[in-house]
Amino acid sequence: IFNQGNTAERTALIVANAGTLNDGTPITHGIPVVGASYDDGVALSQAGSTAHVFVPAPELRPQKNVIAEKTGVNDDNVVMAGAHLDSVEAGPGINDNGSGSAALIEIAQNLSKLEPQNTIRLAWWAAEEDGLLGSEAYVAGLSQEEQDRIALYLNFDMVASPNYIFMVYDGDESGWLAPAGVPIPDGSVAIEKLFESYYTSVGEPYDDAQFSGRSDYDAFIRVGIPAGGLFTGAEVQKTEEQVSIWGGVAGESYDQCYHQACDTIANVNEHAFDVNVDAIATAVLAYSYSTESVNG
């Protein structure tokens, strides 16, 4: 999803959640705000300021989560991995998020070779772009007992950006969730470390990604399930320093086709995808044997 990026945008979202559009359309949670402009981003928090929020015609196609599970010897310990299967309406969404979805399909195809100790549950989420609706509904539908069975959640959203950098969700820091009082669950650091040591073992450099609240890990973190995952960048521009580490083009977005019609099969960096599919498989395999490093 694209919002919550900075203070001005977040303030606008709060205004929108509470109100109606100029034409009287009520704004409800989950309607995507595709663009917004502000009379003055700083003054927006003051009474009487105005936010102009542009909302597309609501999409009426139903979407469903797809969940697949391989039962382990210990079915009371579930390792979850998820990727959102939807795209924005503007384009086919191959990097965002055909990349994460395909990585999990590759893992699913190989699960027949495995007699896992822990149960492995894969999720292809619906309606992420409409406000994390699929993953939120899934977690909200779990009883406390069902939540307690989940050892950890791994998220894969945009893992093959054309102008990539390798990023691992930072289990130490909580990005914008921190002010909202949502702590990152213990165990998330261990997940971060596993991915970091994988990158190190294959000689690939990495950096932190913040848990910004912009993808499907959000609902899991909010109920205290340790989470982690990989990200190769969206609309933010690559710096000179990052080019010296990963190559690519400085001053261009990690994904110049983010949320656009050009997010096609050509919009994938095959090296990044290859490295990340292996990283994802390694993590799922490791946690299928044991989640002790995460859950103690």
Shortest distance (Å) from residue 260 CB to ligand PHE: 11
Q: H or E segment at 128?
A: none
Residue ranges in contact with ligand PHE by CB under 6 A: 1-2, 96, 128-129, 157-158, 212, 214-215, 231, 234
40 CB-near residues (< 8 Å, 6+ apart): 49
Q: 3-class DSSP state for residue 286?
A: helix
Residue ranges in contact with Zn ion by CB under 5 A: 96-97, 157, 170, 172
Radius of gyration in angstroms for the set of CA atoms belonging to the chain, rounded to a whole number = 19
Backbone angles phi, psi at 285, to 5 degrees: -65, -45
Q: What is the DSSP string of 238-268?
A: PPHHHHHHH-S-TTSBS-TTTTSTT-STTS-
> From ligand PHE, Zn ion, none, which one binds at residue 212 (CB under 5 to 8 Å depending on kind)?
ligand PHE
Decide: 82 and 156 in contact? Cβ < 8 Å.
yes
In the bound state with ligand PHE, the residue whose beta carbon lies nearer, of 210 and 282, is 210
In the bound state with ligand PHE, the residue whose beta carbon lies nearer, of 78 and 123, is 123
Shortest distance (Å) from residue 47 CB to ligand PHE: 31
In the bound state with Zn ion, the residue whose beta carbon lies nearer, of 174 and 291, is 174
Decide: 154 and 262 in contact? Cβ < 8 Å.
no
Shortest distance (Å) from residue 129 CB to Zn ion: 5
In the bound state with ligand PHE, the residue whose beta carbon lies nearer, of 72 and 162, is 162
Q: Catalytic residue at 192? A: no
In the bound state with Zn ion, the residue whose beta carbon lies nearer, of 130 and 170, is 170
**Cα 143 from chain centre:** 23
- Report the alpha-carbon distance of residue 148 to residue 135 in Å, rounded: 17
Neighbours of 283 (CB within 10 A): 23
Shortest distance (Å) from residue 22 CB to ligand PHE: 26
| Residue 223 tokens, joined | 């109920």
In the bound state with ligand PHE, the residue whose beta carbon lies nearer, of 116 and 138, is 138
Shortest distance (Å) from residue 73 CB to ligand PHE: 34
Shortest distance (Å) from residue 87 CB to ligand PHE: 8
Handedness of CA 82, 84, 32, 135 (dihedral sign): negative
- Provide the CB-side half-sphere exposure for 94 (13 A, CA): 15
Give me the catalytic one of 106, 128, 241, 270: 128
| Residue 113 tokens, joined | 């070779």
Residues designated as active site: 128
